[in-house]
């Protein structure tokens, strides 16, 4: 996605993203932080860190964590929230995850969550994370995934882009695995977890969603049953969007 489009969308979402329950939940944040193989004293990078939820979650377990994000408003929220929480070992800066201004092997490990689907060259991000992590260090990616079926994936992407114009493309797990392999990484562990989001909150948070609600409703009605990578259900507690969230933990050789 155009950098300007990303910055516009995430300036719009900086506060609401930070507050969104799904972004702080045990499934999306707790599980990822638990799987990060960090050790006390280590230096970690959180790429495309947004409001620093992952960096702040990781801070108690490491020596130091640095978050980088392209959207200045997100970096401001990350700094403010880290200070409010009394976190003294997290720093944040504005930067591009596809071309990090960081020396080779500068970190013990790197993580990125919910970012690759906004980036037209996700492989470049994984290669950058591999470059800035020392040999033997870990690279962790968490993102929601799409179907390996081209028709289902195209339908899914149309809805995502109607709701958030900075959305580029979710990948199926096999393509995420291939990105790590291409960067020379060894996959140590992976998990695929079903996650559930308040559908109305999700629509309201995206800058395109409220204006595109009619088109989104039509797209949803056109594919019944919906694939399990993107399904809107009502089990009596309001409409929920069910997605599949993939976490991969790689090691740099």
Ligand X SMILES: C[S@@+](CC[C@H](N)C(=O)[O-])C[C@H]1O[C@@H](n2cnc3c(N)ncnc32)[C@H](O)[C@@H]1O
Per CB under 6 A, 207 contacts ligand X = no
Interacting span for ligand X (CB under 6 A) from 45-53, 58-66, 182-190, 236-244? 45-53
- Range in contact with ligand X (rule: CB under 6 A) among 80-88, 108-116, 177-185, 227-235: 108-116
Q: Is 30 left (phi over 0), alpha (psi -120 to 50) or beta?
A: alpha
Size of the site for ligand X (CB under 6 A): 20
Q: Is 74 in the site for ligand X (CB under 6 A)?
A: yes
Interface residue with ligand X, options 33, 38, 62, 69 (CB under 6 A): 69
Among 58, 78, 115, 167, binds ligand X (CB under 6 A): 115
Question: In terms of CB distance, is 11 or 223 closer to ligand X?
Answer: 11
> Does 56 contact ligand X by CB under 6 A?
no
Q: Are 45 and 111 in contact (CB under 8 A)?
A: yes
Confirm or reject binding of residue 119 to ligand X (CB under 6 A). Answer: yes
Which span (36-44, 109-117, 184-192, 228-236) binds ligand X, by CB under 6 A? Answer: 109-117
Q: Which is nearer to ligand X, 5 or 89 (CB)?
A: 5
Q: Does 23 bind ligand X (CB under 6 A)?
A: yes
Q: How far is the CB of 158 from ligand X (least distance, A)?
A: 18
Stretch that binds ligand X, among 77-85, 95-103, 179-187, 202-210 (CB under 6 A): 95-103
Q: 2, exposed or middle or buried, with CB in 10 Å at 0-12, 13-18, 19+?
A: exposed
Positions that interact with ligand X (CB under 6 A): 6, 10, 23, 48-50, 53-54, 69-71, 74, 96-98, 113-115, 118-119
């Amino acid at each position: 996605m155009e950098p300007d489009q990303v910055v516009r969308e995430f300036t719009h979402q900086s506060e609401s993203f930070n507050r969104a329950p799904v972004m702080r939940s045990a499934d999306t944040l707790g599980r990822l932080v638990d799987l990060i193989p960090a050790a006390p004293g280590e230096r970690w990078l959180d790429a495309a860190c947004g409001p620093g939820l992952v960096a702040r979650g990781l801070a108690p377990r490491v020596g130091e964590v640095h978050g980088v994000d392209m959207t200045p408003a997100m970096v401001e929220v990350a700094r403010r929230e880290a200070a409010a929480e009394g976190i003294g070992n997290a720093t944040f800066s504005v930067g591009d995850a596809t071309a990090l201004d960081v020396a080779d092997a500068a970190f013990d490990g790197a993580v990125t969550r919910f970012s690759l689907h906004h980036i037209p060259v996700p492989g470049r991000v994984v290669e950058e994370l591999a470059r800035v992590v020392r040999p033997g260090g870990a690279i962790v990616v968490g993102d929601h995934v799409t179907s390996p079926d081209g028709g289902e994936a195209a339908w899914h992407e149309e809805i995502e882009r109607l709701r958030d114009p900075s959305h580029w493309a979710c990948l199926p797990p096999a393509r995420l695995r291939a990105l790590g392999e291409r960067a020379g990484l060894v996959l140590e562990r992976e998990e695929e977890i079903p996650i559930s989001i308040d559908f109305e909150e999700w629509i309201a948070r995206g800058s395109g969603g409220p204006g595109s609600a009619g088109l989104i409703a039509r797209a949803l009605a056109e594919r019944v049953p919906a694939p399990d990578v993107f399904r809107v259900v009502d089990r009596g507690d309001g409409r929920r969007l069910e997605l599949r969230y993939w976490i991969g933990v790689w090691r740099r050789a």
